[in-house]
Structure formats: structure tokens, C-alpha cells
Structure 1
Amino acid sequence: MNTAIKLLYIEDDLEIGSWVNEDLRKRGYEVVWLKNGDQALAEAASCQLVILDVMLPGLDGFTVGQRLKRSKADLPILMLSARSSIDDKLQGLQFADDYLTKPFHPDELAARVDVLLRRVGAHDAQPLAIKHLLVYQQENRVVDQTTGEEIMLTGKQYQIFHYLLRHLGQIMTKEQIYEAVWDEPYWDGDKTLMVHIRYLREKIEQDPANPEIIETIRGVGYRIKA
């Protein structure tokens, strides 16, 4: 999985940093993880967004964030903090674009990152590359890199594909996928999703009989590998 969207993540807590770094990579981002703010300015030059913890060794997150904004004013910054006081939030939001209090769910962090990237047009400019495909998520377009031609998907096919991409690397059950796409309860034995997956593979896989993009997890559901 390759993507040109690069995130700078600054966090000194190794346990939190490890799972956030892993989760963001599974979702298709390239991540530069720093344990302090010493190299923040240098690394930020090539990044589309910064996730910045307040409590850092040496320079605190507020100082690092202010320096980043002075250097690159249009760079989105998402502050992370275990401190929930209104004063801390107001201080952070003087320069940061969003503020998330610990503990947080990885889906919430990912959603906030996605919103900030869309706000600055990063998703529009950088398609998601997976195998031979380029996925323009904002435009709901899928292009075959080998031919340069757009792959025409039906609404349901694209919704299934987009849902799996949003949960990149994660095994999603048939129930989860069906209920997210059709917005109605799934009943065991329904073949609707399986049929849609088959037709989707015929369009996006180079060899539908041996799929490399959408993997079947027997007895559970499907996933797109990171």
C-alpha cells in the first residue's frame, strides 16, 4: 500500500505512540514518529499534517506547535493532551486546528485527521494507491494505473470498497459491511454481499479468481491488506 499523504506524529509515550503509529499506517498513511520536538521543523516540511502531544521532553507541545505554525502556516496541527481543562484547550487552539483529549479511540483520531486533510485538500491532491489502482476518495473515482482508464463501479460496489479502505488492514465481518452499506440488519445466509463482492472483484482485481486486493477471511468476512 502506498500513499503520498505523510503525517508527522510527535509523542514520547512509547505505548500510546506504538499503537497510534501502527493504526495510522494500517489506514494507509505514511507516518514519521518523533519522540520529542527537536526535529519537528525539519520533518514537517514534507508532511501534510501534524499530530502533536502537549507533554513532551524538552520543548513542550505548545512551543513546538507555535514554531511549526510560524514556519508553515497552512500545516494542519492536531493537538493531543491528557489535560482536559478549558485553559489548556484554549491555549492549544490559539495555533492548533483541532484538540483531542486522551484517552481517545483510534477511529476518532482517524476521523479528525481525515477532516483536517479534507479541509486543506490533501485527499483531493493525493490519490490512494493500492496495488494497480489509484483511488480518488473525494471524487469517488477508481483508476487502473496500468491502463490509465477509470473503473466504473456501481454505487453499492464503491460503498463496499470505500468501507473496506476506511478500515484498511482490519478484518470486517459480513454483518458489519452489510449493515454499513445497506443500513439494515444482516441475516445469516443472505448472499447479497457475496454477490456484490464477486462483481466488484471482476472490475478491480487483475485476476478475480486469485484476488490480491479484497481478501476473503473464511467464515468471518473480508479485508483489504495494508
Structure 2
Amino acid sequence: MKSILYIEDDLEIGKWVKDDLEARGYKVNWLVSGEKAMSFINDVDLAVLDIMLPGLDGFTIGQRLKKERAEVPILLLSARTAVDDKLQGLQFADDYLTKPFHPEELAARIEVLLRRFGHNLKQEIQLGHIKVLLNENRMIDGRTGKELILTGKQYQIFMFLLKHPNQILTKEQIYEAVWGEPYLEGDKTLMVHIRYLREKIEENPSAPTIIETIRGIGYRIKL
């Protein structure tokens, strides 16, 4: 049974969404605020977040969840229809649904995200000599059999790239997803972190084959 973290402060909407999803065979952990969201993240397959919440908003909660488990898909719900809001949400989230919505559409989007992430991110991925064990949050060097130890930011960068296989991601996208703040043109922070990350995972860091540089744009991991 797939488990969903659902955060919605409107009790009427929250109840019918929870009841509908449970009738479709999902386990639903429904919260009315984001204060305890992080305590559920290790046990869910997908998160559905309302943006307008008391205390922490859906943007903040979603970014924190992604930093902790980049492989968990996030679907944002909002009454906001402005393009800027959608673009802000899609910097880290995987889908965006505007209220009011039909339960069939929500269910369909959830199914698509679960299929996509289940297909793209298997529990074990081989990248050259590196074996990534997603369910254990570990990386093994196949040449030595030893675990590769990454810093928190290195792991978040790597997982964000891995979550978007074969997709060219800009420096802005990566920085804002990992650090949760606007990217300033000319900032070398991301570049420095990727250099140190490559020194740990690439056979030849000066000629990387796992994390590719797309000159003038950003980076990509090819599967």
C-alpha cells in the first residue's frame, strides 16, 4: 500500500480528499499544519501539500521535504492561479494542481507521479563504478566496495540531479532547490560543492562522466 503525506488546513476539503484517497487504496497521513511534516517523510511515497497553511507554508515545507528525501514526489495544491506562484512551486515540486479540483484529477496525477518516480528512481542505481542504494541513502564505490561519504549539501545536489535523469538543470534550479533561497548571478557556491562532490565520485574529476557539465547552462546526470 502506497503511503501519502497530505497537509491541508481546510477540514472539509481535507476530509473528503483523505476519504477519497483511502477508498482508492492509499494510506493517508493527514496533517492540518506542517509542524510535524518531517516526522513522516521517511515513511511516505508521495506528499500532497496545500500552499496556504498556518505557520509554515507549503513552499517552505516542500523544500524541506525535498532536501531530506529528494526521491519523494511532491504535488502542490493551491487556490492561487498566478504563473509566478506556479513557477516558484515547480522549482522544487513535481506537479501543481489549482483549486478547485476534481478528485479524479488529483488521483490521476498522484498515479502518474508514483509511476514516474517508481520507474525513474529504482531502489538501486548503477552509475559507472558507483552503486546508489536509495532505500539506504548510501553510495558504494564498486572498485573498493567502500561506502562514499558525502556532506549533506553534496548528497542533496547529487539526489536532485538524479531525480531528474537525463535532464539539463540550470545552476539556478539546483541552487534554489538545495539551498532554498534565490540564486545570485556569479555565486560560486554551487560550483565549489560540485567540484568537491566530483572528487569523491568521479574516476577522473577533471574529466567527469557521472555529473556532466553543460557549458553555459548547468549540469546533468545521464542514466
Shorter-chain TM-score: what band?
A: 0.5 to 0.7
Letter in 1 for 2:101: F
Which residue pairs with 1:84 in the alignment? 81
What CA distance in whole angstroms lies between the structure 1 residues aligned with 2:41 and 2:109?
19
Matched, 1:55 2:61: no
TM-superposed deviation, 1:108: 0.1
What CA distance in whole angstroms lies between the structure 2 residues aligned with 1:8 and 1:22?
14
Matched, 1:102 2:99: yes
What are the superposed Cα offsets for residues 164-203 of structure 1, whole Å, 9 maximum, x if unpaired?
xxxxxxxxxxxxxxxxxxxxxxxxxxxxxxxxxxxxxxxx
TM-superposed deviation, 1:14: 0.3
Which residue pairs with 1:34 in the alignment? 31
What are the superposed Cα offsets for residues 75-117 of structure 1, whole Å, 9 maximum, x if unpaired?
1000000000000000000000000000000000000000000
Secondary structure of the residue that 1:120 maps to in structure 2? helix
Matched, 1:93 2:90: yes
- The share of aligned pairs that are identical, in percent, is 65
What CA distance in whole angstroms lies between the structure 2 residues aligned with 1:120 and 1:66?
18
Letter in 1 for 2:82: S
Instruction: Give me the CA root mean square deviation.
Output: 1.5
Matched, 1:46 2:43: yes
TM-superposed deviation, 1:10: 0.4
Work out the number of aligned pairs and report it.
Answer: 121
TM-superposed deviation, 1:44: 1.4
What CA distance in whole angstroms lies between the structure 2 residues aligned with 1:11 and 1:81?
10
Secondary structure of the residue that 1:68 maps to in structure 2? helix
Letter in 2 for 1:33: W
In the TM superposition, structure 1's runs of 4+ consecutive aligned residues that sit over 2 Å from their partners are none
Match of 1:69 among 47, 55, 66: 66
Mark the structure with the bigger radius of gyration.
1
Structure 1 regions of 5+ residues with no counterpart? Answer: 126-226
Query: Which structure 2 residues correspond to residues 209-224 of structure 1 after superposition, within 5 A?
Result: none
Secondary structure of the residue that 1:51 maps to in structure 2? strand
Under a length normalisation based on structure 1, what TM-score does the superposition of the two structures give?
0.52
Query: Which structure 2 residues correspond to residues 1-226 of structure 1 after superposition, within 5 A?
Result: 3=1, 5-121=2-118
Under a length normalisation based on structure 2, what TM-score does the superposition of the two structures give?
0.53
